[in-house]
Amino acid sequence: MTHAGIPRHGLALLGALLAALIVAPHFVNDYLLTVLILILYFAYTGQAWNIMMGFAGQLSLGHALYVGLGAYTAATLYVHFGFGPWIGLLAAVPVAMACGAIIGFLAFRFGVAGVYFAILTIAFAEFARIGFDHIAYTGGSGGLFLPVAQYTQNDLWNLRGKPIMFYYLMLAFTAAAFLLCQYLLRSRMGYFWQAIREDEEAARALGIDTFRYKMFAVMISAGMTAVAGVFFAFYYNNLFPEQVFHISRSIELILAPIIGGIGTLFGPILGAFVLTGLSEAMTELLHTLGIDVPGAKQVFYGVCLLVVVLALPDGIWPWFARRLGLARS
Amino acid sequence: MPLDIYLNVGVSGLLTGLVYGLMALGLSVIFGVVRVVNFAHGEMMTIAMYLAIVAFQAFKLDPLVMMVPIAGVLFALGYVMQAGLINPFVDRPEHSQFMLLVAIAIIMVNVLLLVFGPDARSVQTPYAFDSFAFGRIIVDATKVYAGLAAIVVAAALFAFFRFSDIGKAIRACADNYTGALVVGLNVKHLYALTFGIGAACVGAAGAMLVLLIDVTPPLGPQYTLLAFVIVITGGLGSMPGALVGGVLIGLTEALAGLLFTPSAKSMFAFAILVLVLLFRPQGILGKRAS
């Protein structure tokens, strides 16, 4: 299932992909650049979610909670206190990790698992959505806005600048997340996670402190996801609880790793490319065809998802890897 | 005087809760037997609501009358979904089933959006403004009809599972999958029937709910969540639990809307869900999950 190590031509492929992504902004127009940013964003969040589900087997359907907490923490510090995003990041990550720890503690201590755990995560995200709707300090349902001006200079310290700066930042995050996941998967903890994922009872019988390692999985995943939230806040400059915490956001985040291949390192990246590419291609196609009806694009999108789920239930990457001769059984 | 308000709101919440309960009953029946969480449940309900609206606008057919044919249509939809798409996924991991149903749900929401547009639709029945007075409690006639109809449908369903041969066979599948195969039951067919029955419940509930609320396509996901909250509160897989959960959530939402602000009412429903999951994960009337 999972690759303990990456074969040599896999590394070559990875290097080629990275090189292509580094030079890509010089060959694409502004529109494609925003699409690439979106792809990297979903690759990154997918990687973070994958730690919890793909590695440790804990299905979270409420990851928008951590994006939202990260975004709101950093944005609030910026708007109300003038702290920059990197300081905000230092606050946002612990906030999300603490929230993940609370959910994890409650669920794992009280034996809430499987479907019940998944729905508990939805419940917390929904709780936050409605809660933030009523917090006047963060703008309530009216939204929280970051000051926007025309920036000619890229100010990396304050994350104010042109899309290309956000592109390279997200590329760096995605690359770092890939390396971290690669390291984690082969670490002692990674093997414990996989043992828990395959058979929790057996893992416990072997002496693995399953509670502890499941907690680590949730907290690392939550913290990483909050980083994406900070990016989200400074990239889009506006936050609405109805959008940030909504269940459809949570689903959006987990489509890429599931379609790409759960528990694999390349799955979230491949899934993000396929799904975002598909979605944008459809927008273009419908635009060219002159079909401008709300819902048309999503119907096609849903049908494509359905086809992938029916044809490749384990995701695209495991199938693709076999084709490339990268898979080790 | 304030007591009157609480009683009025409470009774109204209870009646709405019965309809919620019927909707959740469908989810509970499906999960109890097929062991698949229907993430397209609320979306199926909005389909039923739009069917009721079309029938009313085109032929002046009362949603309460249309309840039976709409339940029939939804039964067919559910049967086809299970037989054609979901049966191969019964043995797959939860996230895989989730993906499948999310894809179905996305298609349903957006087909409705394509066909009916984003505007809210409702049904104006001649009795929309009638009410019954029980002493100092005044209740909307529509809510009374809807609540009573929900009880009738639920009772019919209980009787079906208790006394009919097919109902017994379905319960056998739920109790012991291998055993059901061994005695020669056609489990795939029974699963499809079960999904159909669950869909019929939600269809009937949708026909009633159209009397109480306006419908828009994005309502689906919200009601999927509401159905989850209700069945987990009552006990996933427990039929009486779904009704009890529905009434509890209906009451909570009504009273929270009165005491705090209506926009925060579902927060209380989620708070109840969290408490139930923590202190009684099997739900109020559920059996301990293995």
For chains A and B, CB pairs below 8 A equal 122
Nearest by CB to residue A305, choosing from B103, B232, B277, is: B103
Q: Which domains does chain A have, with CATH numbers?
A: 8-324 (1.10.3470)
Tell me if B106 and A301 make a contact (CB, 8 A cut-off): yes
Q: How far is CA A102 from the centre of its chain?
A: 20
* Per-residue pLDDT at A204 exceeds 80: yes
What is the 8-class DSSP label of residue A209?
-
Residue B236 contacts A, CB cutoff 8 Å: yes
Residue B110 contacts A, CB cutoff 8 Å: yes
Portion 136-195 of B in contact with A at CB < 8 A? none
Phi/psi-derived region of residue A49, left when phi > 0, alpha when psi is between -120 and 50, beta in every other case: alpha
Written as one letter, the residue type at B33 is V
Q: Select from B156, B179, B177 the least CA-distant residue to B167.
A: B156
Name the band, by pLDDT with cuts 50, 70 and 90, for residue B8. Answer: confident
Nearest by CB to residue B103, choosing from A127, A248, A306, is: A306
Q: Which residues of B touch A255 (CB under 8 A)?
A: 99, 102
Average pLDDT, integer, range B160-167: 92
Calculate the average pLDDT of chain A. Answer: 89
* Per-residue pLDDT at B288 exceeds 80: no
Residue A110 contacts B, CB cutoff 8 Å: yes
Residue A115 contacts B, CB cutoff 8 Å: yes
Percentage above 90 pLDDT, chain B: 49
Tokens 């999503």 correspond to A298
Name the band, by pLDDT with cuts 50, 70 and 90, for residue B157. Answer: very high
Q: Which of B95, B219, B288 to mutate to test the interface with A (most CBs of A within 10 A)?
A: B95
Residues 6+ apart with CB under 8 A from A250: A60, A61, A62, A63, A64, A65, A122, A125
Q: Which residues of B touch A296 (CB under 8 A)?
A: 110, 114
* Per-residue pLDDT at B155 exceeds 70: yes
Query: How far is residue A30's CA from residue B62's CA, in Å, rounded to a whole number?
Result: 54
Residue B290: the pLDDT is 41
Shortest CA gap A325–chain B (Å): 25
* Per-residue pLDDT at A3 exceeds 50: no
Residue B285: the pLDDT is 83
* Per-residue pLDDT at B80 exceeds 60: yes
Tell me if A299 and B232 make a contact (CB, 8 A cut-off): no
Tell me if A106 and B278 make a contact (CB, 8 A cut-off): yes
Average pLDDT, integer, range A291-307: 84
Average pLDDT, integer, range A95-106: 95
Tokens 């293995």 correspond to B290
Calculate the average pLDDT of chain B. Answer: 89
* Per-residue pLDDT at A64 exceeds 70: yes
Shortest CA gap B264–chain A (Å): 6
Query: How far is residue B41's CA from residue B203's CA, in Å, rounded to a whole number?
Result: 10
Percentage above 90 pLDDT, chain A: 54
Nearest CA in chain A to B38: A115
The residues with which A128 forms a beta bridge, in sequence order, are none
Residue A120 contacts B, CB cutoff 8 Å: yes
Query: How far is residue A125's CA from residue B96's CA, in Å, rounded to a whole number?
Result: 21
Residue B232 contacts A, CB cutoff 8 Å: yes
Q: Which residues of B touch A313 (CB under 8 A)?
A: 89, 92, 96
Half-sphere exposure of A141 (CA within 13 A, CB side): 8
Q: Which of A108, A130, A242 to mutate to test the interface with B (most CBs of B within 10 A)?
A: A130
Name the band, by pLDDT with cuts 50, 70 and 90, for residue A128. Answer: very high
Q: Over the range A169-204, which residues count as b (16 or more CB within 10 Å of their CB) and which as e? A: bbbebbbebbeebbebbeeebbbbbbbbbeebeebe
Nearest CA in chain A to B233: A116
Q: Which residues of B touch A302 (CB under 8 A)?
A: 103-107, 110
Query: How far is residue A225's CA from residue A227's CA, in Å, rounded to a whole number?
Result: 5
Q: Which domains does chain B have, with CATH numbers?
A: 2-116+139-279 (1.10.3470)
Structure tokens at B149: 């109809």
Nearest CA in chain A to B113: A295
Torsion of CA A151, A155, A161, A165, to 10 degrees: 150
| Tens digit of each residue's pLDDT (9 = 90 or more) over B241-272 | 999 999 999 999 988 888 888 777 888 888 88
Residue A14 contacts B, CB cutoff 8 Å: no
Name the band, by pLDDT with cuts 50, 70 and 90, for residue A213. Answer: very high
∠ CA(A142), CA(A43), CA(A5), 5° rounding? 150
First vs last Cα of chain B: how many Å apart? 49
* Per-residue pLDDT at A328 exceeds 60: no
Residue A124 contacts B, CB cutoff 8 Å: yes
Name the band, by pLDDT with cuts 50, 70 and 90, for residue A327. Answer: low
Residue B130: the pLDDT is 84
| Tens digit of each residue's pLDDT (9 = 90 or more) over B126-153 | 887 888 888 788 888 888 999 999 999 9
Residue B266: the pLDDT is 80
Query: How far is residue B165's CA from residue B181's CA, in Å, rounded to a whole number?
Result: 16
Residue A119: the pLDDT is 86
Half-sphere exposure of A306 (CA within 13 A, CB side): 18
Q: Select from B175, B203, B173, B178 the least CA-distant residue to B191.
A: B173
* Per-residue pLDDT at A5 exceeds 70: no
- The pTM (predicted TM-score) of the whole model is 0.88
* Cβ neighbours of B169 (radius 10 Å): 18
Q: Which helix (H) or strand (E) holds A48?
A: helix A30-50
Q: Which residues of A touch B100 (CB under 8 A)?
A: 306, 309-310
Helices (H), chain B: 2-34, 41-59, 63-81, 94-116, 141-163, 165-175, 177-182, 187-212, 219-234, 239-259, 265-279
Tell me if A59 and B98 make a contact (CB, 8 A cut-off): yes
Shortest CA gap A269–chain B (Å): 18
